[in-house]
Chain A
């Protein structure tokens, strides 16, 4: 079980690093904001944030509180990037979307301040033991993932119609689908982690198994979306169905 969990985490980190590197390289050429935001999300929330969170879970805050704070701030920066990515790509200039992003960022900021306050207090406790702070810091992350998922899958439905008329490329249609599915897997993992923490069953074998599976799905979708191997491109090009059946 631990081996599977470790492999799942390692796979996710490697894929996120590869895609982030590729995306930053693309940004240097295009100077496109979406490229920058995607790279920031992957680097902060996954490549750096995830290992820092794992380390923070093993080192008490009293011994190294900057690690805990750093993990929280870097993860938050990653999800702010994801929120801005979804806003800019799918809902540019839409008032309710701007309000959603603004509110989520505000909650994340409150969470970071709360974490700082707790960590610099007299007897700092791990954030996972503070239900209120955990909810505050987790809610915007769940919002970021599920909102991105909804926008992606909704847009995928429209691209499918265009594909039938030859107005879209199969690879692009598939990429949008995989991005949506990736966010679905990640969002579900966030919710399960939260429930597990609150119920005290976060480290149960069944929870770890499910989270590891979702992590592998997260990584797999990310890999196929942004770094597909030749055999996958060929399969898409042969007019393979792009539905998530």
Chain B
């Protein structure tokens, strides 16, 4: 199953703006998502933005990336402009409906 557009955008931007290669960039973002309890397949742009703002700087610093805050801000800005049609029926969405 393909990863979400938000994940792909974040990884692509990281790979372009830092010294991280594509594989490392993807692994770094996956680790940040895992720490947030999210998956690359289903993460929405707004969720990705929160992870980028709160968890990704620490992951980048651990990998020796300089100016990680600027890079995360750049990723966040791109994510706010991202529009997707993905509407995954996640377990969270199902259980949210079941309470209503």
Instruction: List residues of A whose CB falls within 8 A of some B CB.
Output: 23, 26, 30, 32, 34-35, 38, 89-90, 92-93, 155, 157-162, 165-169, 171-172, 175-176, 179, 225-226, 228
- Cα A226 to Cα B91 in complex, Å, equals 15
Nearest A residue (CB) for B88: A92
CB proximity of A228 to chain B, nearest CB, Å: 8
Q: Which residues of B contact A155 (CB under 8 A)?
A: 91-92
Nearest A residue (CB) for B93: A172
Determine whether the beta carbon of A176 is less than 8 Å from that of B36: no
Q: Taking A165-B36, A167-B36 as contacts, is the C-beta distance between A175 and B98 under 8 angstroms? A: yes
Interface residue B47 (Cβ < 8 Å from any Cβ of A) = yes
Determine whether the beta carbon of B99 is less than 8 Å from that of A167: no
- Cα A225 to Cα B99 in complex, Å, equals 8
Chain B: interface residue total (CB-CB under 8 A): 20
Determine whether the beta carbon of B97 is less than 8 Å from that of A168: no
Q: Which residues of A contact B55 (CB under 8 A)?
A: 165
Interface residue B94 (Cβ < 8 Å from any Cβ of A) = yes
- Cα A175 to Cα B98 in complex, Å, equals 9
Contact of B95 among A157, A166, A179 (CB under 8 A): A179
CB proximity of B42 to chain A, nearest CB, Å: 11
- Cα A157 to Cα B35 in complex, Å, equals 11
Determine whether the beta carbon of B37 is less than 8 Å from that of A157: yes
Determine whether the beta carbon of A32 is less than 8 Å from that of B99: no
Interface residue B80 (Cβ < 8 Å from any Cβ of A) = no
CB proximity of A127 to chain B, nearest CB, Å: 33
